[in-house]
Amino acid sequence: MTTSTPTQPTADQALPDEDVLLDVRGLKVHFPIKKGVLIDRTVGHVYAVDGMDLQIRRGETYGLVGESGCGKSTFGRAVLQLEEPTEGEVLFDGTDLASLRGEALRRQRRHMQMVFQDPLGSLDPRQTVEQLLLEGMRAHGLADDAKAARARLSALLDAVGLPKNALSKYPHEFSGGQRQRVGIARALSVDPKLIVADEPVSALDVSVQAQVVNLLEDLQEEFGLTYLVIAHDLAVVRHISDRIGVMYLGALVEEADADDLYTSPLHPYTRALLSAVPVPDPTVEDTREQILLAGDLPSPANPPSGCRFHTRCPWRQATRCDTERPQLRVVDLPGTPAGHRVACHWAEQIASGELRPHDVDMELTDQTLTAGPVDTTLGAKGLTDTLP
């Protein structure tokens, strides 16, 4: 993966069409906040995803990082049409998924699959691995020939490194890493082009995480898969991704090649995020400088005006930051490739050292609206009435 796709620096963000597998334009997912005893009244919205533009090339791994509540999981689900987008287009291989309904959408699902964070919760506890794997194949007519289906089952198990006798087992009989392998095999069972992996390793033991990371890399090479990896762990994302997008309160704040992002982060939030990741090396830990962000993520139901990050930004300026929402743009800095885009008014001045960080007063956010992790609770509510 890291070697197979040489990244071609393109002049413009709009990549050549034949190269792009997934093209998301202006995607918004807003969840209504309802109140009322008899008749529900919409009193506001949670702006979970609020204007996302993102292109993923065929065969590449795109890493999406951000903290809980930034809308990254909702975005992943909206791409797969498991969450109905409020606005925007999701062009997959040229087809706008957001406009598809019913059977047409169901047929498209074959081409894009999901790997979940919780390997146990995402596997039906009452089905054997065989039933789990056959289900998707049956739904898309891939299991009509019983003999071919058997061969495919064993090829799938083989691909994810599980022994044959796993077929008759139930999910609770596996270890966490093995369950995640079953989940990956299920995603592969319908022969998808795109896999959205939502925190694929964060629920696993440290020693097992590397098994799954390596497996994902091998499978990409073997089947020519395209990945959208959503995670909060920057080290993991940087390891497996070709390009990385950093998300904050529903939108991208920076997008760059994996190496660029680490060596020259341009957005203040990216800098803070990178500096906060603990490094398993005491010498590094003792010497490195941390940018400690003040306070918490503001409520996505009431996002700050202007730049969403200005309430916590150590580089916040008196003008523009709180009034004008910055768009992703290519900065005018020597040595910055065109693929490196950032949504910050002052990126050039911060990078050149012209602007210095200052102290930030902690501003408290009212947590009553966002008491739970927004990604899951509200996401779940959104599902209720949109079965395919």
Cβ 42 to other proteins shortest distance, Å: 18
CA distances from 285 to 270, 272, 276, 288, 289 (A): 18, 15, 10, 6, 9
The size of the interface with other proteins (CB under 8 A), counted in residues, is 125
CA distances from 5 to 46, 51, 68, 201, 215 (A): 37, 28, 30, 23, 18
Nearer CB in complex with other proteins: 11/364? 364
What are the DSSP E strand ranges found in the chain?
Answer: 20-35, 41-57, 61-65, 87-92, 95-96, 112-115, 194-198, 226-231, 243-248, 251-257, 329-330, 341-342
Q: List binders of other proteins among 229-268 (CB under 8 A).
A: 232-236, 238-240, 258-259, 262
- Distance from C-alpha of 12 to C-alpha of 315, rounded to nearest angstrom: 28
Cβ 122 to other proteins shortest distance, Å: 4
Helix residue ranges per DSSP H, 1-101: 72-79
Nearer CB in complex with other proteins: 288/329? 288
Nearer CB in complex with other proteins: 67/348? 67
Among 33, 210, 330, 360, binds other proteins (CB under 8 A): 210
- Distance from C-alpha of 286 to C-alpha of 280, rounded to nearest angstrom: 11
Cβ 322 to other proteins shortest distance, Å: 19
Cβ 12 to other proteins shortest distance, Å: 26
Neighbouring residues of 377: CB distance < 8 A, sequence distance ≥ 6 = none
CA distances from 71 to 64, 180, 215, 268, 297 (A): 10, 23, 27, 19, 12
Nearer CB in complex with other proteins: 312/345? 312
Site string for other proteins, 76-95 (x = CB under 8 A): -x--x-x-------------
The DSSP output letter for 150 is H
- Distance from C-alpha of 33 to C-alpha of 31, rounded to nearest angstrom: 6
Cβ 23 to other proteins shortest distance, Å: 20
Cβ 286 to other proteins shortest distance, Å: 8
> Using the rule CB under 8 A, is 320 a contact of other proteins?
no
Among 27, 252, 272, 321, binds other proteins (CB under 8 A): 272
Among 19, 89, 93, 296, binds other proteins (CB under 8 A): 296
Nearer CB in complex with other proteins: 332/385? 385
Cβ 215 to other proteins shortest distance, Å: 7
- Distance from C-alpha of 268 to C-alpha of 279, rounded to nearest angstrom: 20
Q: List binders of other proteins among 114-173 (CB under 8 A).
A: 114, 116, 118, 121-129, 135-136, 139-140, 142, 148-149, 151-152, 154-156, 158-166, 168-170, 172-173
Cβ 6 to other proteins shortest distance, Å: 13
Nearer CB in complex with other proteins: 14/383? 383
**Interface region with other proteins, contact rule CB under 8 A, candidates 10-18, 93-101, 185-193, 335-343:** 185-193
Angle between helices 129-139 and 176-188 (to 10 degrees): 20
Among 183, 250, 300, 314, binds other proteins (CB under 8 A): 183
Among 40, 84, 285, 324, binds other proteins (CB under 8 A): 285
User: What end-to-end distance do the CA atoms of the chain give, in Å?
Assistant: 33
- Distance from C-alpha of 298 to C-alpha of 69, rounded to nearest angstrom: 9
> Using the rule CB under 8 A, is 282 a contact of other proteins?
yes
Q: Are 78 and 49 in contact (CB under 8 A)?
A: yes
Q: List binders of other proteins among 33-72 (CB under 8 A).
A: 67-68
Structure tokens at 232: 């909060």
Cβ 80 to other proteins shortest distance, Å: 6
Structure tokens at 99: 């406009």
Cβ 178 to other proteins shortest distance, Å: 5
> Using the rule CB under 8 A, is 290 a contact of other proteins?
yes
Nearer CB in complex with other proteins: 48/53? 48
**DSSP string spanning 184-250?**
HHHHHTT--SEEEEESSSTTS-HHHHHHHHHHHHHHHHHHT-EEEEEES-HHHHHHH-SEEEEEETT
